C-alpha cells in the first residue's frame, strides 16, 4: 500500500484509515465485492496496532460501505451502488453526503461517484 496515515494531522489514525478506504470505495478504485486487506497484514504494513485497523473496519461496516464475514475477510458492500447511491442522488444519505461535503466533491453520475472539486 502506497498510502500511510499521518499522526501529525490531528485526526485519529483509525479515522484516517477509514477515510482512506471510504475514498477508495466511493471513487471506484475499490469495486463492490472486492476484498480489503486482512486486518493483521494491513496493520503490519501501516506500522499500527491491529486494534487501530479493527476500529477502522468497524466504522466502515457501520457506514454500510463494507461487510465482513469471519474467516472470509472484509469486502466492499455489493449493494452500495444501488440503494445508497440512489439515496445520495435524492440527497437522503447523510453518511455519503457527509463524505462528499468533507472532501468538497460535487456530484454522482450513473449511480457512481464522479469527483470534481467545488
Residue 2 covered by a domain: no
Residue position matching grid coordinates 440503494: 83
* CA pair distance 77, 107, nearest whole angstrom: 21
Residue position matching grid coordinates 442522488: 89
Q: Has residue 100 got a pLDDT over 90?
A: no
Q: Which residues contact 58 (CB under 8 A, 6 or more apart)?
A: none
- Domain membership of residue 23 as a residue range: 7-117
Domain of 111: which CATH number? 1.10.10.10
Give the count of domains, the chain.
Answer: 1
Residue 1 covered by a domain: no
Q: What is the pLDDT of residues 1-60, one digit of tens each?
A: 789 999 899 999 999 999 999 999 988 899 999 999 999 999 999 999 999 999 999 999
> Torsions phi, psi of 86, nearest 5?
-60, -45
What is the DSSP secondary structure assignment for residue 80, as one 8-state letter?
Answer: I
Residue 41 covered by a domain: yes
Point out the least confidently predicted range of 20-29, 64-73, 108-117.
108-117
> Torsions phi, psi of 33, nearest 5?
90, -10
Q: Has residue 62 got a pLDDT over 50?
A: yes
pTM of the complete model: 0.68
Amino acid at each position: 500500500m502506497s498510502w500511510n496515515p499521518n499522526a501529525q494531522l490531528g485526526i485519529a489514525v483509525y479515522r484516517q484509515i477509514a477515510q482512506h478506504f471510504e475514498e477508495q470505495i466511493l471513487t471506484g478504485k475499490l469495486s463492490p465485492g472486492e476484498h480489503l486487506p486482512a486486518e493483521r497484514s494491513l496493520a503490519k504494513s501501516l506500522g499500527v496496532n491491529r486494534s487501530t485497523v479493527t476500529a477502522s473496519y468497524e466504522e466502515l461496516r457501520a457506514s454500510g460501505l463494507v461487510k465482513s464475514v469471519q474467516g472470509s475477510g472484509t469486502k466492499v458492500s455489493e449493494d452500495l451502488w444501488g440503494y445508497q447511491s440512489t439515496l445520495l442522488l435524492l440527497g437522503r444519505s447523510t453518511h455519503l453526503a457527509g463524505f462528499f461535503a468533507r472532501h468538497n466533491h460535487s456530484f454522482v453520475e450513473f449511480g457512481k461517484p464522479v469527483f470534481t472539486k467545488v
